[in-house]
Amino acid sequence: MSTPRPVLVVDFGAQYAQLIARRVREAKVYSEIVPHTMPVAEMLAKNPAAIILSGGPASVYAPGAPQVDAGMFTAGVPVFGICYGFQAMAQALGGTVAHTGNREYGGTPLQARPEAGVLLKDLPADLPVWMSHGDCVTEAPAGFTVTAESAGAPVAAFEDLVGRRAGVQFHPEVGHTAHGQEMLTRFLYEIAGIEPTWTPENIIDEQVARIREQVGEKEVICGLSGGVDSAVAAALVHKAVGDQLTCVFVDHGLLRAGEAEQVEKDYVAATGIKLKVVDARDRFLGALAGVTDPEQKRKIIGREFIRVFEAAAREIAAHGDVEFLVQGTLYPDVVESGGGTGTANIKSHHNVGGLPEDLKFALVEPLRALFKDEVRTLGLQLGLPEEMVWRHPFPGPGLAIRIIGAVDEERLALLRKADLIARQELTAAGLDRDVWQFPVVLLADVRSVGVQGDGRSYGHPVVLRPVSSEDAMTADWSRLPYDVIARISTRITNEVAEVNRVVLDVTSKPPGTIEWE
């Protein structure tokens, strides 16, 4: 099976391109993000099924504002313009865009003419939509029918069914726009005539075929972190090449309760994968002894991890012809490292699994085109345990950075207990999927006075840090129900000796980070 023809989402530099690309995929249509600086000829060379022009921060009048090359409209490819993309499209096709002074930001009522076209067909005539614009289209280009208006936008939606083009001033991709996904779907299926074939089954089949082609008869290794990305990547490769794959799991002793077992037993049982577990707990704890500085901890863990992994890889390679290394790179990583958009939104990837160049393996990255939610769907489809697929993100350096102070066996055991209680209560309350992550932090260098049993105690505080987030770049503290917090607090102080206080972190990110360190 060949890669499907992509719907290209042209990124005009705001936050919307990734969201649009995800919404397109939710409609079971494959999408890719490209920068607006990519020449139209290059876009067309990708044989796109359609092009979507995203919103952007600029005014089409601003000096240097990105324009749309009119060549895009002569190639017969269906085009959908959103917000800035809508205005740029109108301008390129000979319509009029004006500064009217009528700004609209946020929820705005739209007056639609559902009967006038396809995009808004059968939808209510009064629709709340999400707007964010200063300029507006005052005259649609020739051949276009105007299908909606708002107080600040005389032309708020238009379409030209013959030319298979449409556009909207508002943002159909955000949840605040009623029926937004339906509009996007209408464009894809009814105006552009695309079939919804991007399904988990098809993705698996396609990736399996690709991996087989890439790897041939050679041996492959994969480092498992316990996280969902590497687990799904390895499961896909295993489906493709079976026992040519060996996985390595380094137990650095900084994991949470039950995690090593989850990989060693449940994952292997679900997949039948060949797994080499390296018990490196003593080595890591030895190297970390007495170290309190978080950066120092990270460096030590990174260094030891690479040494252990390399040694394991060499051992495996000694028995065969290992040429490939599997990595669970996701599409947002590719986009953010400049592989997709060229925008300046670079996230620093502080993975402990960052392996040295001189390992000299070719990379197999079967998740490079996928978003996290798609990876989870694939994981379930591949039969991985639910607890693994829905696992919250967990930092590579593990509990070492959730102990503020030096790391030792005793403190790790203590934090593991507190962390397990928090997780158990969150799960019991049915709230696992309502929080992005729930770090529990031990302030090992702080003591305070309390009263426990019959006497005075002098113990450590534990911090609860439940957060909600879309992508970990920003986050807010989760408003968990007080009775859940109360149960966690009571259980921790009752069941974990040495802890006599539980506090809740109510800081957003920024200014805080998710982890404490």
* Stretch of 7-15, 317-325, 412-420, 506-514 contacting ligand XMP, by CB under 6 A: 506-514
Site string for ligand XMP, 443-482 (x = CB under 6 A): -----------------------------x----------
* Stretch of 27-35, 237-245, 346-354, 359-367 contacting ligand XMP, by CB under 6 A: 346-354
Instruction: For residue 168, give Cα distances in angstroms to 102, 105, 109.
Output: 17, 15, 14
Both structure tokens of 148: 């909606």
Number of H helices, E strands in the chain: 15, 20
Q: Are 191 and 147 in contact (CB under 8 A)?
A: no
Per the annotation, does 457 bind a ligand?
Answer: no
What stretch of H or E contains 132?
Answer: strand 126-139
Residue 296 is a binding residue for ligand XMP (CB under 6 A): no
Determine which residue in the list 178, 280, 352, 407 makes contact with ligand XMP, applying CB under 6 A.
Answer: 352
Determine which residue in the list 91, 150, 230, 437 makes contact with ligand XMP, applying CB under 6 A.
Answer: 437
Total number of residues shown for the chain = 517
| Site residues (CB under 6 A) for ligand XMP, limited to 355-394 | 393
Instruction: For residue 3, give Cα distances in angstroms to 6, 45, 197, 203, 402.
Output: 8, 14, 11, 9, 42
What stretch of H or E contains 223?
Answer: strand 219-224
CA 256/CA 398 separation, integer angstroms: 8
Instruction: For residue 178, give Cα distances in angstroms to 19, 108, 151, 216, 340.
Output: 16, 11, 17, 49, 29
Instruction: For residue 81, give Cα distances in angstroms to 91, 152, 250, 307, 500.
Output: 11, 18, 48, 50, 58
Both structure tokens of 337: 């490292």
Residue 327 is a binding residue for ligand XMP (CB under 6 A): no
Question: Would you give the DSSP letter of residue 335?
Answer: I
Cβ burial 463-500 (10 Å sphere, 16+ → b, else e): bbbbbebeeeeebebbebeeebbebbbebbbeebebbb
Task: Find the shortest distance in angstroms from Cβ 480 to ligand XMP.
Answer: 18
* Stretch of 5-13, 31-39, 347-355, 445-453 contacting ligand XMP, by CB under 6 A: 347-355
Of these residues, 83, 136, 222, 247, which one is catalytic?
A: 83
Residue 515 is a binding residue for ligand XMP (CB under 6 A): yes
Query: Quick one: 130 or 436, whose CB is closer to ligand XMP?
Result: 436
Task: Find the shortest distance in angstroms from Cβ 437 to ligand XMP.
Answer: 5
Residue 328 is a binding residue for ligand XMP (CB under 6 A): no
Residue 350 is a binding residue for ligand XMP (CB under 6 A): yes
Query: Quick one: 76 or 511, whose CB is closer to ligand XMP?
Result: 511
Residue 226 is a binding residue for ligand XMP (CB under 6 A): no
* Stretch of 29-37, 213-221, 345-353, 423-431 contacting ligand XMP, by CB under 6 A: 345-353
Residue 323 is a binding residue for ligand XMP (CB under 6 A): no
CA 466/CA 427 separation, integer angstroms: 13
| Site residues (CB under 6 A) for ligand XMP, limited to 166-225 | none
Residue 171 known to be catalytic: yes
CA 12/CA 342 separation, integer angstroms: 10
Residue 247 known to be catalytic: no
Query: Among 365, 395, 229, which Cα is nearest to 302's?
Result: 395
At 77 the three-state DSSP class reads coil
> How many residues bind to ligand XMP according to rule CB under 6 A?
13
Question: Would you give the DSSP letter of residue 320?
Answer: S
Per the annotation, does 230 bind a ligand?
Answer: yes
| Site residues (CB under 6 A) for ligand XMP, limited to 145-164 | none
Q: CA angle, corner 177, sides to 79 and 151, nearest 5? A: 90
Per the annotation, does 227 bind a ligand?
Answer: yes
Both structure tokens of 376: 């989870």
Residue 83 known to be catalytic: yes
Per the annotation, does 228 bind a ligand?
Answer: yes
Of these residues, 32, 36, 159, 171, which one is catalytic?
A: 171
Q: Where are the alpha helices (DSSP H) in 93-197?
A: 180-185
Per the annotation, does 233 bind a ligand?
Answer: no
Task: Find the shortest distance in angstroms from Cβ 86 to ligand XMP.
Answer: 34
Both structure tokens of 259: 């995690």
Query: Quick one: 275 or 475, whose CB is closer to ligand XMP?
Result: 475
Residue 397 is a binding residue for ligand XMP (CB under 6 A): yes
Q: Binding-site residues, please? A: 225-231
Q: Binding-site residues for ATP, please? A: 225-231
Active site residues: 83, 171, 173
Residues that bind ligand XMP (CB under 6 A): 350-352, 393, 395-397, 437, 472, 509, 513-515
